[in-house]
A = this chain, B = another copy of it.
Amino acid sequence: MAQTNPLPVPTGPWKSVRSRGRENRQPPLCHPPVLEWLRSSLRMAPLPRELISAGITVYDQENFQGKRMEFTSACPNIMECNFDNIRSLKVECGAWVGYEHTGFCGQQFTLERGEYPRWDAWSGSNAYHIERLMSFRPICSANHKESKITIFEKDNFIGRQWELSDDYPSLQAMGWANNEVGSMKIQCGAWVCYQYPGYRGYQYVLEADHHGGDYKHWREWGSHAQTCQIQSIRRIQQ
Question: Interface size class for chain A?
Answer: 35 or more
Compute how far the CA of A136 lies from the CA of B84 in the bound complex, rounded to whole angstroms.
Answer: 42
**Neighbouring B residues of A237 by C-beta, 8 Å:** 168-170, 173-174
Within 34-91 of A, Cβ neighbours of B (below 8 Å) are at 91
* Cβ proximity bits A205-238 to B, threshold 8 Å, 1 near / 0 not: 0000000000000000000000000011010111
Which B residues are CB-close (under 8 A) to A167? 167, 234
Complex Cα gap A123–B122 (Å) = 13
Contact call A126/B126, Cβ cutoff below 8 A: yes
Rounded to whole angstroms, the CA-CA distance of A125 and B115 in the bound complex is 15
Give the shortest distance, in Å, between A53 (CB) and chain B (any CB).
Answer: 12
Q: Give chain B nearest CB distance to A179 CB in angstroms.
A: 5
- Among A9-17, A105-113, A181-189, which stretch is in contact with chain B? A105-113
Q: What separation, in Å, do the CA atoms of A200 and B169 have in the docked complex?
A: 13
Bound complex: CA A236 to CA B199 (Å):
12
Contact between chains at A120 and B114 (CB < 8 Å): no
Interface centre among A113, A234, A236 (most CB of B within 10 A): A113
Confirm or deny: A1 has a beta carbon within 8 angstroms of a beta carbon on chain B: no
**Could you give 7 example pairs across A and B, Cβ below 8 Å?**
A111-B197, A112-B197, A114-B173, A114-B179, A115-B179, A121-B195, A121-B196
**When A and B form their complex, which 7 residue pairs have the shortest distance between CB atoms, in order from nearest?**
A120-B126, A114-B197, A113-B173, A112-B170, A121-B196, A114-B231, A199-B199
A: residues with CB less than 8 A from B are 91, 95, 110-116, 118-127, 167-174, 179, 195-201, 231-232, 234, 236-238
